[in-house]
Structure 1
Amino acid sequence: MTEATTSAPIDPLQACLDGAYVDEVVEVRAQGPVPPRRALHTIRTEHFDVHNDGDLLHVGHRVPPELVDDDLAGMLADELFGPGWLRGPDLFERIFTGTVRTSRSGALDSWELFYRNTMMRLEQCVDGPGVGGHSTIADYAPVYARAESLLAPGSVLELGSCFGFLSLRIAASGRRTTASDLSPGTTRLLAEMAPRLGIPLTAVAADAGHFPGDDASADTVLAIHLLEHLDAEHGERVLAEAVRVAARRVVIAVPLEEEADETWGHVRTISLDDLTEWGRATGLPFEVSEHHGGWLVLDKR
Protein backbone atom coordinates (compact mmCIF):
# COMPACT_ATOMS: atom_id res chain seq x y z
CA MET A 1 0.00 0.00 0.00
CA THR A 2 1.35 3.45 -0.96
CA GLU A 3 0.31 6.78 0.50
CA ALA A 4 1.64 10.24 -0.37
CA THR A 5 3.37 12.22 2.35
CA THR A 6 3.15 15.98 2.79
CA SER A 7 4.50 17.64 -0.34
CA ALA A 8 4.28 20.78 -2.46
CA PRO A 9 0.85 21.90 -3.73
CA ILE A 10 -0.33 20.48 -7.03
CA ASP A 11 0.03 22.75 -10.06
CA PRO A 12 -2.53 21.54 -12.62
CA LEU A 13 -0.94 23.65 -15.35
CA GLN A 14 2.70 22.67 -14.88
CA ALA A 15 4.61 21.61 -17.99
CA CYS A 16 5.09 17.93 -18.69
CA LEU A 17 8.60 16.48 -18.89
CA ASP A 18 9.23 14.31 -21.96
CA GLY A 19 5.50 13.62 -22.19
CA ALA A 20 5.13 12.77 -18.48
CA TYR A 21 3.56 14.62 -15.57
CA VAL A 22 6.21 14.61 -12.85
CA ASP A 23 6.17 16.11 -9.37
CA GLU A 24 7.97 15.14 -6.17
CA VAL A 25 5.58 12.24 -5.53
CA VAL A 26 4.45 10.73 -8.85
CA GLU A 27 5.37 10.30 -12.49
CA VAL A 28 2.34 9.74 -14.72
CA ARG A 29 2.47 9.02 -18.43
CA ALA A 30 0.17 7.67 -21.12
CA GLN A 31 1.15 4.27 -22.47
CA GLY A 32 0.11 1.94 -25.25
CA PRO A 33 -1.24 -1.60 -24.97
CA VAL A 34 0.28 -3.51 -22.05
CA PRO A 35 2.86 -6.23 -22.72
CA PRO A 36 1.73 -9.81 -22.09
CA ARG A 37 4.07 -10.32 -19.08
CA ARG A 38 3.61 -8.44 -15.83
CA ALA A 39 6.63 -6.46 -14.63
CA LEU A 40 7.95 -7.32 -11.16
CA HIS A 41 6.10 -5.54 -8.33
CA THR A 42 3.74 -3.79 -10.75
CA ILE A 43 0.07 -3.27 -9.92
CA ARG A 44 -1.86 -3.77 -13.16
CA THR A 45 -5.53 -2.92 -13.64
CA GLU A 46 -7.70 -2.31 -16.68
CA HIS A 47 -6.50 1.26 -17.10
CA PHE A 48 -3.36 1.61 -14.94
CA ASP A 49 0.08 0.14 -14.29
CA VAL A 50 1.70 1.28 -11.03
CA HIS A 51 5.09 0.62 -9.46
CA ASN A 52 7.26 2.36 -6.88
CA ASP A 53 11.03 2.60 -7.36
CA GLY A 54 11.64 4.14 -3.94
CA ASP A 55 11.84 7.70 -5.26
CA LEU A 56 8.62 8.15 -7.23
CA LEU A 57 5.37 6.30 -7.75
CA HIS A 58 5.28 5.57 -11.49
CA VAL A 59 1.84 5.38 -13.09
CA GLY A 60 1.17 4.41 -16.69
CA HIS A 61 -2.40 4.87 -17.88
CA ARG A 62 -4.48 3.66 -20.78
CA VAL A 63 -7.36 6.16 -20.51
CA PRO A 64 -8.54 7.19 -24.00
CA PRO A 65 -9.37 10.87 -24.67
CA GLU A 66 -13.12 10.22 -24.75
CA LEU A 67 -12.96 8.97 -21.13
CA VAL A 68 -10.99 11.94 -19.80
CA ASP A 69 -13.68 13.46 -17.62
CA ASP A 70 -14.61 13.54 -13.95
CA ASP A 71 -15.56 9.85 -14.03
CA LEU A 72 -11.80 9.36 -13.87
CA ALA A 73 -12.27 9.83 -10.10
CA GLY A 74 -14.47 6.74 -9.94
CA MET A 75 -12.05 4.83 -12.15
CA LEU A 76 -9.17 5.55 -9.77
CA ALA A 77 -11.30 4.69 -6.76
CA ASP A 78 -12.49 1.41 -8.25
CA GLU A 79 -9.15 0.19 -9.62
CA LEU A 80 -6.48 1.54 -7.26
CA PHE A 81 -7.78 3.17 -4.06
CA GLY A 82 -10.86 1.10 -3.24
CA PRO A 83 -8.93 -2.21 -3.35
CA GLY A 84 -6.28 -0.68 -1.07
CA TRP A 85 -3.33 -0.63 -3.48
CA LEU A 86 -2.99 3.10 -2.91
CA ARG A 87 -4.46 5.45 -0.32
CA GLY A 88 -4.71 9.12 0.60
CA PRO A 89 -6.48 12.07 -1.05
CA ASP A 90 -3.21 13.83 -1.93
CA LEU A 91 -1.93 10.87 -3.93
CA PHE A 92 -5.36 10.45 -5.51
CA GLU A 93 -5.34 14.08 -6.71
CA ARG A 94 -1.81 13.81 -8.11
CA ILE A 95 -2.57 10.73 -10.19
CA PHE A 96 -5.86 12.28 -11.31
CA THR A 97 -4.04 15.48 -12.38
CA GLY A 98 -1.29 13.55 -14.12
CA THR A 99 -3.75 11.44 -16.07
CA VAL A 100 -5.61 14.50 -17.34
CA ARG A 101 -2.38 16.38 -18.12
CA THR A 102 -1.02 13.55 -20.25
CA SER A 103 -4.22 13.17 -22.27
CA ARG A 104 -3.10 15.97 -24.62
CA SER A 105 0.23 17.70 -25.10
CA GLY A 106 -0.74 21.19 -23.92
CA ALA A 107 -1.81 21.99 -20.34
CA LEU A 108 -4.81 24.11 -21.29
CA ASP A 109 -5.80 21.76 -24.13
CA SER A 110 -5.77 18.74 -21.82
CA TRP A 111 -7.92 20.44 -19.20
CA GLU A 112 -10.29 21.81 -21.82
CA LEU A 113 -10.83 18.22 -23.01
CA PHE A 114 -11.57 17.21 -19.40
CA TYR A 115 -13.98 20.10 -18.82
CA ARG A 116 -15.86 19.72 -22.10
CA ASN A 117 -16.25 15.96 -21.68
CA THR A 118 -17.46 16.39 -18.10
CA MET A 119 -19.90 19.21 -18.83
CA MET A 120 -21.36 17.25 -21.77
CA ARG A 121 -21.85 14.09 -19.70
CA LEU A 122 -23.21 16.05 -16.78
CA GLU A 123 -25.80 17.61 -19.08
CA GLN A 124 -26.74 14.14 -20.33
CA CYS A 125 -27.17 12.86 -16.78
CA VAL A 126 -29.24 15.84 -15.63
CA ASP A 127 -31.57 15.67 -18.64
CA GLY A 128 -31.92 11.89 -18.88
CA PRO A 129 -30.39 8.54 -18.01
CA GLY A 130 -27.04 9.70 -19.37
CA VAL A 131 -24.07 7.49 -18.54
CA GLY A 132 -25.13 3.99 -17.54
CA GLY A 133 -23.74 1.95 -14.65
CA HIS A 134 -21.39 3.26 -12.00
CA SER A 135 -20.43 6.84 -12.72
CA THR A 136 -19.09 9.64 -10.56
CA ILE A 137 -20.80 12.18 -12.81
CA ALA A 138 -24.11 10.33 -12.65
CA ASP A 139 -23.82 10.24 -8.86
CA TYR A 140 -23.50 14.01 -8.45
CA ALA A 141 -25.77 15.06 -11.34
CA PRO A 142 -28.97 14.86 -9.21
CA VAL A 143 -27.21 16.77 -6.43
CA TYR A 144 -26.34 19.58 -8.84
CA ALA A 145 -29.85 19.58 -10.28
CA ARG A 146 -31.31 19.89 -6.78
CA ALA A 147 -28.94 22.72 -5.89
CA GLU A 148 -29.91 24.59 -9.05
CA SER A 149 -33.59 24.18 -8.23
CA LEU A 150 -33.08 25.73 -4.78
CA LEU A 151 -31.40 28.96 -5.91
CA ALA A 152 -33.03 32.22 -4.88
CA PRO A 153 -33.32 34.88 -7.60
CA GLY A 154 -30.12 36.77 -8.30
CA SER A 155 -26.41 36.17 -7.86
CA VAL A 156 -24.68 33.02 -6.58
CA LEU A 157 -21.53 32.26 -4.61
CA GLU A 158 -20.33 28.66 -4.37
CA LEU A 159 -17.93 27.90 -1.50
CA GLY A 160 -15.62 24.92 -1.98
CA SER A 161 -16.35 24.72 -5.69
CA CYS A 162 -13.43 22.40 -6.58
CA PHE A 163 -13.39 22.15 -10.42
CA GLY A 164 -16.44 24.42 -10.56
CA PHE A 165 -18.80 22.33 -12.70
CA LEU A 166 -21.86 23.43 -10.72
CA SER A 167 -20.81 27.09 -10.83
CA LEU A 168 -20.22 26.83 -14.58
CA ARG A 169 -23.71 25.43 -15.11
CA ILE A 170 -25.24 28.21 -13.01
CA ALA A 171 -23.20 30.92 -14.75
CA ALA A 172 -24.15 29.53 -18.17
CA SER A 173 -27.81 30.09 -17.25
CA GLY A 174 -27.14 33.84 -17.06
CA ARG A 175 -26.63 34.39 -13.34
CA ARG A 176 -23.72 36.39 -11.92
CA THR A 177 -21.71 33.60 -10.34
CA THR A 178 -18.58 33.37 -8.19
CA ALA A 179 -16.80 30.09 -7.54
CA SER A 180 -14.47 29.92 -4.55
CA ASP A 181 -12.04 27.22 -3.48
CA LEU A 182 -9.15 26.96 -1.04
CA SER A 183 -6.76 25.72 -3.75
CA PRO A 184 -5.12 28.52 -5.79
CA GLY A 185 -4.25 25.98 -8.49
CA THR A 186 -7.84 24.85 -8.86
CA THR A 187 -9.25 28.38 -9.00
CA ARG A 188 -6.55 29.43 -11.47
CA LEU A 189 -7.50 26.45 -13.65
CA LEU A 190 -11.20 27.36 -13.47
CA ALA A 191 -10.42 30.98 -14.37
CA GLU A 192 -8.54 29.74 -17.45
CA MET A 193 -11.24 27.27 -18.50
CA ALA A 194 -14.36 29.45 -18.15
CA PRO A 195 -13.46 31.76 -21.10
CA ARG A 196 -12.55 28.74 -23.23
CA LEU A 197 -16.02 27.39 -22.55
CA GLY A 198 -17.60 30.77 -23.31
CA ILE A 199 -18.96 31.16 -19.77
CA PRO A 200 -18.54 34.38 -17.71
CA LEU A 201 -17.48 33.33 -14.21
CA THR A 202 -15.44 34.79 -11.36
CA ALA A 203 -13.05 32.40 -9.57
CA VAL A 204 -11.64 33.31 -6.14
CA ALA A 205 -9.03 31.43 -4.09
CA ALA A 206 -10.15 31.65 -0.46
CA ASP A 207 -10.78 29.68 2.70
CA ALA A 208 -14.55 29.19 2.87
CA GLY A 209 -14.34 30.02 6.57
CA HIS A 210 -12.86 33.46 5.83
CA PHE A 211 -14.38 34.54 2.53
CA PRO A 212 -13.24 38.01 1.35
CA GLY A 213 -16.72 39.30 0.51
CA ASP A 214 -19.07 41.91 1.94
CA ASP A 215 -22.09 41.08 4.05
CA ALA A 216 -25.13 40.10 1.96
CA SER A 217 -23.07 40.33 -1.25
CA ALA A 218 -24.49 37.20 -2.93
CA ASP A 219 -28.18 36.34 -3.11
CA THR A 220 -27.54 32.60 -2.70
CA VAL A 221 -24.51 30.98 -1.07
CA LEU A 222 -23.90 27.28 -1.78
CA ALA A 223 -21.77 24.78 0.13
CA ILE A 224 -22.38 21.55 -1.78
CA HIS A 225 -20.55 18.50 -0.43
CA LEU A 226 -17.97 20.67 1.32
CA LEU A 227 -18.52 20.37 5.07
CA GLU A 228 -17.71 16.65 5.23
CA HIS A 229 -14.17 17.61 4.18
CA LEU A 230 -13.74 19.93 7.18
CA ASP A 231 -13.49 19.35 10.92
CA ALA A 232 -16.30 20.60 13.14
CA GLU A 233 -14.68 23.91 14.08
CA HIS A 234 -13.81 24.80 10.50
CA GLY A 235 -17.28 23.75 9.39
CA GLU A 236 -18.88 26.10 11.92
CA ARG A 237 -16.86 28.99 10.51
CA VAL A 238 -17.95 28.12 6.97
CA LEU A 239 -21.61 28.04 7.96
CA ALA A 240 -21.25 31.40 9.71
CA GLU A 241 -19.58 32.89 6.63
CA ALA A 242 -22.26 31.52 4.33
CA VAL A 243 -24.95 33.14 6.48
CA ARG A 244 -23.02 36.42 6.59
CA VAL A 245 -22.42 36.66 2.85
CA ALA A 246 -25.88 35.48 1.75
CA ALA A 247 -28.54 38.11 1.12
CA ARG A 248 -31.41 35.67 0.59
CA ARG A 249 -30.56 31.98 0.98
CA VAL A 250 -27.93 29.46 2.07
CA VAL A 251 -27.98 25.94 0.62
CA ILE A 252 -25.92 23.19 2.29
CA ALA A 253 -25.65 19.64 0.96
CA VAL A 254 -23.74 16.71 2.47
CA PRO A 255 -23.47 12.98 1.78
CA LEU A 256 -25.11 10.74 4.36
CA GLU A 257 -22.44 8.18 5.21
CA GLU A 258 -22.02 5.64 7.98
CA GLU A 259 -18.26 6.11 7.79
CA ALA A 260 -16.29 9.04 6.37
CA ASP A 261 -14.91 8.01 2.96
CA GLU A 262 -11.17 8.70 3.07
CA THR A 263 -10.75 8.22 -0.69
CA TRP A 264 -12.75 11.40 -1.31
CA GLY A 265 -11.05 13.32 1.50
CA HIS A 266 -13.98 13.09 3.93
CA VAL A 267 -12.98 13.57 7.57
CA ARG A 268 -16.36 13.24 9.31
CA THR A 269 -19.93 12.07 8.88
CA ILE A 270 -22.90 14.46 9.04
CA SER A 271 -26.46 13.37 9.77
CA LEU A 272 -29.88 14.90 9.19
CA ASP A 273 -29.99 15.56 12.94
CA ASP A 274 -26.73 17.53 12.64
CA LEU A 275 -28.23 19.61 9.84
CA THR A 276 -31.32 20.29 11.96
CA GLU A 277 -29.16 21.36 14.90
CA TRP A 278 -27.20 23.73 12.65
CA GLY A 279 -30.37 25.22 11.27
CA ARG A 280 -31.79 25.87 14.72
CA ALA A 281 -28.52 27.43 15.89
CA THR A 282 -28.68 30.12 13.17
CA GLY A 283 -32.07 31.40 14.35
CA LEU A 284 -33.19 31.61 10.71
CA PRO A 285 -36.12 29.84 9.05
CA PHE A 286 -34.76 26.55 7.71
CA GLU A 287 -35.70 23.26 6.10
CA VAL A 288 -33.87 19.92 6.27
CA SER A 289 -34.53 17.25 3.65
CA GLU A 290 -33.00 14.19 2.04
CA HIS A 291 -32.31 13.85 -1.70
CA HIS A 292 -29.18 11.93 -2.72
CA GLY A 293 -27.79 13.07 0.63
CA GLY A 294 -28.81 15.60 3.26
CA TRP A 295 -29.85 19.20 2.65
CA LEU A 296 -30.13 22.28 4.84
CA VAL A 297 -31.73 25.40 3.33
CA LEU A 298 -31.65 28.64 5.35
CA ASP A 299 -33.74 31.63 4.32
CA LYS A 300 -32.79 35.16 5.34
CA ARG A 301 -35.73 36.86 3.63
Structure 2
Amino acid sequence: MCDISAPILRRPVVRRTTCVPAGFRECGDLAWRERGEVVEIVHRLDAATICDSALLSGLIRLVDDGIIAGQSAFEEAAKGIIRTCAATEARAWASFYDNSLRELRAGTSPFGPVHRRARSLVAGDSLLEVGSCFGFLALQCAEDGYLVQACDISAGAVELLTVAARRRHTELVATVGDATALPYDESCVDTVTLVHLLEHLDESAAEVALSEALRVARRRVVAAVPYEDRPSEHFGHLVRLTEVDLRRWTARLDHAGARYFEDHGGWLILTPR
Protein backbone atom coordinates (compact mmCIF):
# COMPACT_ATOMS: atom_id res chain seq x y z
CA MET A 1 0.00 0.00 0.00
CA CYS A 2 2.95 2.30 -0.44
CA ASP A 3 3.32 3.11 -4.15
CA ILE A 4 0.81 5.39 -5.86
CA SER A 5 0.46 4.36 -9.50
CA ALA A 6 -3.12 3.53 -10.56
CA PRO A 7 -5.50 6.27 -11.74
CA ILE A 8 -8.22 7.43 -9.36
CA LEU A 9 -11.61 6.59 -10.87
CA ARG A 10 -13.51 8.24 -8.03
CA ARG A 11 -11.58 10.57 -5.75
CA PRO A 12 -12.21 9.64 -2.09
CA VAL A 13 -13.02 12.40 0.39
CA VAL A 14 -12.97 11.11 3.97
CA ARG A 15 -14.28 12.38 7.32
CA ARG A 16 -15.09 10.87 10.68
CA THR A 17 -18.62 10.83 12.10
CA THR A 18 -20.36 9.43 15.16
CA CYS A 19 -23.50 8.60 13.18
CA VAL A 20 -24.14 7.92 9.53
CA PRO A 21 -25.58 10.98 7.75
CA ALA A 22 -28.72 10.73 5.65
CA GLY A 23 -28.10 9.64 2.10
CA PHE A 24 -25.05 7.48 2.91
CA ARG A 25 -24.97 3.72 2.42
CA GLU A 26 -23.44 1.78 5.29
CA CYS A 27 -20.61 -0.69 4.73
CA GLY A 28 -19.33 -2.01 8.09
CA ASP A 29 -17.53 0.81 9.91
CA LEU A 30 -17.72 2.89 6.75
CA ALA A 31 -20.50 4.57 4.82
CA TRP A 32 -20.40 6.28 1.46
CA ARG A 33 -22.19 8.27 -1.18
CA GLU A 34 -21.22 9.35 -4.68
CA ARG A 35 -21.04 12.97 -5.74
CA GLY A 36 -19.98 13.10 -9.39
CA GLU A 37 -16.31 12.15 -9.59
CA VAL A 38 -16.04 12.11 -5.79
CA VAL A 39 -16.96 9.34 -3.38
CA GLU A 40 -17.57 10.68 0.11
CA ILE A 41 -16.58 8.21 2.83
CA VAL A 42 -17.46 8.56 6.49
CA HIS A 43 -16.23 6.26 9.25
CA ARG A 44 -16.66 5.64 12.97
CA LEU A 45 -13.09 4.49 13.70
CA ASP A 46 -11.31 6.40 16.45
CA ALA A 47 -7.97 6.29 18.27
CA ALA A 48 -9.06 3.20 20.21
CA THR A 49 -10.29 1.20 17.23
CA ILE A 50 -8.13 2.22 14.25
CA CYS A 51 -5.83 -0.59 13.13
CA ASP A 52 -4.67 -2.22 9.93
CA SER A 53 -7.27 -4.99 9.92
CA ALA A 54 -10.22 -2.67 10.62
CA LEU A 55 -9.02 -0.27 7.96
CA LEU A 56 -8.57 -2.95 5.31
CA SER A 57 -11.76 -4.86 6.01
CA GLY A 58 -13.87 -1.76 5.39
CA LEU A 59 -11.97 -0.60 2.33
CA ILE A 60 -11.91 -4.02 0.68
CA ARG A 61 -15.70 -4.13 0.94
CA LEU A 62 -15.81 -0.82 -0.94
CA VAL A 63 -13.49 -2.29 -3.58
CA ASP A 64 -15.60 -5.44 -3.88
CA ASP A 65 -18.72 -3.31 -4.33
CA GLY A 66 -17.04 -1.22 -7.00
CA ILE A 67 -17.14 2.01 -4.97
CA ILE A 68 -13.41 2.65 -5.18
CA ALA A 69 -10.99 1.18 -7.70
CA GLY A 70 -7.25 1.25 -8.25
CA GLN A 71 -4.28 1.61 -5.95
CA SER A 72 -4.27 5.41 -5.80
CA ALA A 73 -7.89 5.68 -4.69
CA PHE A 74 -7.42 2.86 -2.18
CA GLU A 75 -4.36 4.52 -0.64
CA GLU A 76 -5.95 7.97 -0.56
CA ALA A 77 -8.99 6.56 1.24
CA ALA A 78 -6.82 4.61 3.70
CA LYS A 79 -4.69 7.63 4.59
CA GLY A 80 -7.79 9.76 4.92
CA ILE A 81 -9.35 7.35 7.41
CA ILE A 82 -6.17 7.13 9.48
CA ARG A 83 -5.60 10.89 9.56
CA THR A 84 -9.16 11.65 10.66
CA CYS A 85 -9.47 9.04 13.42
CA ALA A 86 -8.03 11.31 16.14
CA ALA A 87 -7.83 14.98 17.04
CA THR A 88 -4.34 15.38 15.56
CA GLU A 89 -2.58 13.60 12.71
CA ALA A 90 0.31 12.65 15.01
CA ARG A 91 -2.02 10.95 17.47
CA ALA A 92 -3.90 9.28 14.63
CA TRP A 93 -0.77 7.68 13.18
CA ALA A 94 0.50 6.72 16.64
CA SER A 95 -2.80 4.97 17.39
CA PHE A 96 -2.76 3.21 14.02
CA TYR A 97 0.76 1.89 14.63
CA ASP A 98 0.24 0.88 18.26
CA ASN A 99 -3.10 -0.82 17.68
CA SER A 100 -1.88 -2.62 14.55
CA LEU A 101 1.25 -3.92 16.27
CA ARG A 102 -0.79 -5.02 19.27
CA GLU A 103 -3.16 -7.09 17.14
CA LEU A 104 -0.28 -8.59 15.17
CA ARG A 105 1.38 -9.68 18.42
CA ALA A 106 -1.90 -11.04 19.75
CA GLY A 107 -2.58 -13.02 16.59
CA THR A 108 -5.92 -11.31 15.97
CA SER A 109 -4.85 -9.71 12.69
CA PRO A 110 -5.47 -11.69 9.48
CA PHE A 111 -1.87 -10.90 8.53
CA GLY A 112 -0.55 -12.09 11.89
CA PRO A 113 0.34 -15.63 10.74
CA VAL A 114 2.49 -14.26 7.91
CA HIS A 115 4.43 -12.02 10.28
CA ARG A 116 4.76 -14.80 12.85
CA ARG A 117 6.17 -17.17 10.23
CA ALA A 118 8.55 -14.52 8.86
CA ARG A 119 9.88 -13.75 12.34
CA SER A 120 10.43 -17.48 12.97
CA LEU A 121 12.59 -17.73 9.85
CA VAL A 122 15.09 -15.00 10.71
CA ALA A 123 18.61 -16.44 10.93
CA GLY A 124 21.34 -14.65 12.84
CA ASP A 125 21.19 -11.37 14.72
CA SER A 126 20.58 -8.81 11.98
CA LEU A 127 17.75 -8.25 9.52
CA LEU A 128 16.93 -6.11 6.50
CA GLU A 129 13.27 -5.83 5.53
CA VAL A 130 12.96 -4.90 1.86
CA GLY A 131 9.66 -3.31 0.85
CA SER A 132 8.84 -2.47 4.46
CA CYS A 133 5.86 -0.16 3.77
CA PHE A 134 4.51 0.76 7.25
CA GLY A 135 7.28 -1.34 8.78
CA PHE A 136 5.21 -3.49 11.11
CA LEU A 137 7.48 -6.50 10.59
CA ALA A 138 10.64 -4.43 11.04
CA LEU A 139 9.32 -2.94 14.28
CA GLN A 140 8.38 -6.34 15.71
CA CYS A 141 11.79 -7.79 14.87
CA ALA A 142 13.59 -4.78 16.37
CA GLU A 143 11.50 -5.10 19.52
CA ASP A 144 12.40 -8.81 19.59
CA GLY A 145 16.05 -7.76 19.90
CA TYR A 146 17.32 -8.02 16.33
CA LEU A 147 19.49 -5.36 14.73
CA VAL A 148 17.07 -4.14 12.06
CA GLN A 149 17.25 -2.08 8.91
CA ALA A 150 14.31 -1.43 6.60
CA CYS A 151 13.95 0.05 3.16
CA ASP A 152 11.05 1.03 0.95
CA ILE A 153 10.73 2.89 -2.32
CA SER A 154 8.25 5.31 -0.73
CA ALA A 155 9.85 8.21 1.14
CA GLY A 156 6.54 8.80 2.93
CA ALA A 157 6.46 5.25 4.26
CA VAL A 158 10.07 5.51 5.43
CA GLU A 159 9.30 8.73 7.28
CA LEU A 160 6.24 7.20 8.98
CA LEU A 161 8.29 4.20 10.10
CA THR A 162 11.13 6.39 11.36
CA VAL A 163 8.73 8.53 13.42
CA ALA A 164 6.97 5.46 14.82
CA ALA A 165 10.25 3.81 15.80
CA ARG A 166 11.49 6.96 17.51
CA ARG A 167 8.23 7.39 19.42
CA ARG A 168 8.25 3.73 20.54
CA HIS A 169 11.95 3.97 21.53
CA THR A 170 12.69 1.18 19.05
CA GLU A 171 16.12 1.12 17.43
CA LEU A 172 16.03 0.59 13.67
CA VAL A 173 17.26 2.41 10.58
CA ALA A 174 14.83 3.00 7.71
CA THR A 175 16.09 4.07 4.28
CA VAL A 176 14.54 4.94 0.94
CA GLY A 177 15.66 2.26 -1.49
CA ASP A 178 14.65 0.28 -4.57
CA ALA A 179 14.46 -3.50 -4.18
CA THR A 180 16.19 -3.90 -7.55
CA ALA A 181 19.18 -1.74 -6.54
CA LEU A 182 19.56 -2.04 -2.78
CA PRO A 183 21.70 0.71 -1.21
CA TYR A 184 23.62 -1.76 0.96
CA ASP A 185 27.01 -3.48 0.83
CA GLU A 186 27.48 -7.16 0.06
CA SER A 187 26.86 -9.61 2.91
CA CYS A 188 26.02 -6.83 5.35
CA VAL A 189 23.12 -8.49 7.24
CA ASP A 190 22.30 -12.02 8.28
CA THR A 191 18.74 -12.20 6.91
CA VAL A 192 16.93 -10.28 4.18
CA THR A 193 13.14 -10.48 3.99
CA LEU A 194 10.90 -9.71 1.02
CA VAL A 195 7.43 -10.25 2.47
CA HIS A 196 4.59 -9.56 0.05
CA LEU A 197 6.83 -7.54 -2.24
CA LEU A 198 7.50 -9.66 -5.34
CA GLU A 199 3.87 -9.57 -6.49
CA HIS A 200 4.34 -5.80 -6.96
CA LEU A 201 7.09 -6.40 -9.56
CA ASP A 202 7.20 -7.80 -13.06
CA GLU A 203 9.11 -11.05 -13.63
CA SER A 204 12.41 -9.42 -14.58
CA ALA A 205 12.34 -7.03 -11.62
CA ALA A 206 11.40 -9.84 -9.22
CA GLU A 207 14.47 -11.85 -10.26
CA VAL A 208 16.70 -8.81 -9.83
CA ALA A 209 15.20 -8.14 -6.38
CA LEU A 210 15.93 -11.72 -5.29
CA SER A 211 19.45 -11.45 -6.70
CA GLU A 212 20.00 -8.22 -4.77
CA ALA A 213 18.70 -9.83 -1.59
CA LEU A 214 21.15 -12.72 -2.06
CA ARG A 215 23.97 -10.22 -2.55
CA VAL A 216 23.20 -8.42 0.71
CA ALA A 217 22.35 -11.46 2.90
CA ARG A 218 24.99 -13.46 4.73
CA ARG A 219 22.83 -16.37 5.86
CA ARG A 220 19.27 -16.34 4.50
CA VAL A 221 16.74 -14.69 2.17
CA VAL A 222 13.08 -15.06 3.15
CA ALA A 223 10.45 -14.26 0.51
CA ALA A 224 6.69 -14.58 0.91
CA VAL A 225 3.99 -14.02 -1.71
CA PRO A 226 0.20 -14.27 -1.66
CA TYR A 227 -1.40 -16.98 -3.77
CA GLU A 228 -4.35 -15.12 -5.32
CA ASP A 229 -6.99 -16.02 -7.88
CA ARG A 230 -6.18 -12.70 -9.52
CA PRO A 231 -3.81 -9.87 -8.61
CA SER A 232 -5.24 -7.40 -6.09
CA GLU A 233 -5.05 -4.19 -8.09
CA HIS A 234 -5.96 -2.02 -5.10
CA PHE A 235 -2.83 -3.28 -3.29
CA GLY A 236 -0.69 -2.62 -6.37
CA HIS A 237 -0.21 -6.31 -7.20
CA LEU A 238 0.87 -6.80 -10.81
CA VAL A 239 1.03 -10.57 -11.16
CA ARG A 240 -0.67 -13.74 -9.93
CA LEU A 241 2.00 -16.00 -8.45
CA THR A 242 2.32 -19.73 -7.75
CA GLU A 243 5.15 -21.99 -6.65
CA VAL A 244 5.93 -22.52 -10.33
CA ASP A 245 6.93 -18.84 -10.54
CA LEU A 246 9.11 -19.08 -7.43
CA ARG A 247 10.89 -22.13 -8.81
CA ARG A 248 11.36 -20.52 -12.22
CA TRP A 249 12.99 -17.44 -10.67
CA THR A 250 15.31 -19.40 -8.40
CA ALA A 251 16.42 -21.67 -11.26
CA ARG A 252 18.06 -18.61 -12.79
CA LEU A 253 19.65 -17.28 -9.56
CA ASP A 254 23.04 -18.02 -8.04
CA HIS A 255 22.41 -19.49 -4.59
CA ALA A 256 23.40 -22.41 -2.37
CA GLY A 257 19.94 -23.88 -1.88
CA ALA A 258 16.21 -23.17 -2.02
CA ARG A 259 13.22 -24.34 -0.01
CA TYR A 260 9.52 -23.86 -0.79
CA PHE A 261 6.41 -24.29 1.34
CA GLU A 262 2.90 -22.92 1.83
CA ASP A 263 1.57 -21.09 4.88
CA HIS A 264 -1.01 -18.38 4.18
CA GLY A 265 0.58 -18.07 0.74
CA GLY A 266 3.86 -19.19 -0.72
CA TRP A 267 7.31 -19.03 0.84
CA LEU A 268 10.76 -19.20 -0.67
CA ILE A 269 13.87 -19.60 1.54
CA LEU A 270 17.19 -19.03 -0.21
CA THR A 271 20.71 -19.64 1.10
CA PRO A 272 23.40 -17.28 -0.24
CA ARG A 273 26.69 -18.71 -1.48
With the length of structure 2 as denominator, give the TM-score of the two structures. 0.91
| Per-residue CA distance 1:145-180 (angstroms, 9 max, x = gap) | 111111111211011111111110101111110111
Which position in structure 2 is the counterpart of 1:291? 263
- Superposed CA deviations along residues 123-166 of structure 1, whole A, max 9, x for unmatched, are 110xxxxx3xxxxx2x2211111111111112110111111111
- Residue 95 of structure 1 corresponds to 77
Structure 1 residue 279, shift from structure 2 partner: 2.3
Q: Distance in 2 between matches of 1:193 and 1:223?
A: 21
The 3 A distance-change label for structure 1 pair 146 and 46 is closer
Is 1:123 aligned with 2:125?
Answer: no
CA distance in structure 1 between the partners assigned to 2:225 and 2:78 by the alignment:
23
Match of 2:64 in 1: 82
For 2:48 and 2:125, locate their aligned partners in 1 and report how far apart those are by CA, in whole Å: 36
CA distance in 2, matches of 1:52, 1:200: 44
2:43 maps to 1:70: no
Q: Which amino acid aligns with 1:290?
A: E
Residue in 2 that maps onto 1:223: 194
Unpaired runs of 5+ residues, structure 1, are 8-23, 126-130, 132-136
Q: Look up the equivalent residue of 1:213 and give its one-letter code.
A: Y
| CA offsets 1:19-76 (integer angstroms, 9 cap, x no match) | xxxxx944311112124xx42xx44323223234346432221223322000111221
SS in 2 for 1:211: coil
Quote the residue 1:208 is aligned against: 179
Aligned positions, number: 267
Q: Which amino acid aligns with 2:138?
A: S
Q: Does residue 267 of the first structure (1) align with residue 249 of the second (2)?
A: no
Deviations 1:74-99 (A, max 9, x none): 22102x11122221111111111111
Structure 2 SS opposite 1:50? strand
Aligned-partner residue type, residue 101 of structure 1 = R
**Aligned ranges for residues 153-192 of structure 1 at < 5 Å?**
153-192=124-163
Q: Indicate how the Cα distance of structure 1 residues 6 and 50 shifts in structure 2: closer, same or farther if over 3 A, else same.
A: closer
Q: Does 1:300 align with 2:272?
A: yes
Q: Tell me how large the CA RMSD over aligned residues is.
A: 2.1
Question: Please, what TM-score do these two structures have when normalized by structure 1?
Answer: 0.83
Which residues of structure 2 form unaligned runs of 5+?
1-5
- Distance in 1 (CA, whole Å) between partners of 2:103 and 2:204 is 36
Report the counterpart of residue 134 of structure 1 in structure 2: none
Task: Identify which of 254, 276, 282 aligns with 2:253.
Answer: 282
| Percent of residue pairs identical | 36
Q: Structure 1 counterpart of 2:233, which letter?
A: E
Distance 1:52 1:184 in 2: 32
